[in-house]
Amino acid sequence: MTSARTTSRSRSATREKLFQAAVTLIAEQGFSSTTVEEIAERAGVAKGTVYYNFASKTELFEELLRHGVELLSADLRHAAEGTAERDGTKVDALDAMIRAGLMFIDRYPAFTQLYVAELWRTNRAWNDTLLVVRQEAVAVVEGVLREGVAAGELSEEIDIQLTAAALVGMVLVAALDWKAFQPERSLEDVHGALSLLLQGRVGGRGRPR
């Protein structure tokens, strides 16, 4: 039993090293220019280890996208649940999710850059997988918006699907702009700016009279 758990942890750690190596190299060089040998070298493992864990470079990249977006979705979900436990409003939950999204991007900027770039490509083998995992993240936000409308906190006129996608997109693009062009700004500063936008548009405060 102990041996099986140890083996499982070891394999999980190896896969994590491969994920980190692959996302960094592919973000730097592009998918086609990155070789399995380079991924193995960056991860500090033998080339055969890559093929032991993944059938191909394409499968590795597909799983990398799935893994990263699942981590983001989990962070968004935990932020919403934490707000609910503190009896916060649904707008508070959305605000907490924005912060969680920024924190995720701060930890994984290379993954975020890669993910956003891949969203615009339609000729990839992993395109269907990308659409599925993207919807997983957006669905977390949709759930909070739907609950806010049902509770009367948010306007029934809100287009839930489009608003959820817009909020996720806002965080991704704003965070990439922050990292690329305004790195001197703190996470709190960026969150504060997006929070004001959320409160004014989704929360309904600060409207001109």
pLDDT top residue among 159 and 62? 159
C-alpha span between 80 and 146 (Å, rounded): 13
Residues 27 and 75 in one domain: no
Q: Number of structural domains, the chain?
A: 2
Dist. CA 56–CA 156, nearest whole Å: 47
Containing domain of residue 163, as a range?
65-198
Cα separations in angstroms, 195 against 16, 96, 147, 170, 200: 33, 9, 19, 11, 9
Mean per-residue pLDDT for 80-88?
A: 95
pLDDT at 204: 52
Q: In terms of domains, do 157 and 124 share one?
A: yes
| Each residue's pLDDT tens digit, 43-57 | 999 999 888 888 888
Same domain for 102 and 38?
Answer: no
Rounded CA separation 60/51 (Å)? 9
Structure tokens at 135: 């919807």
pLDDT band at 41 (very low <50, low <70, confident <90, very high): very high
What is the value of pTM for the model shown? Answer: 0.82
Residue 26 has φ and ψ, to the nearest 5°, of -70, -35
**Which residue has tokens 């799935």?**
66
Q: Which two tokens stand for residue 38?
A: 């380079």
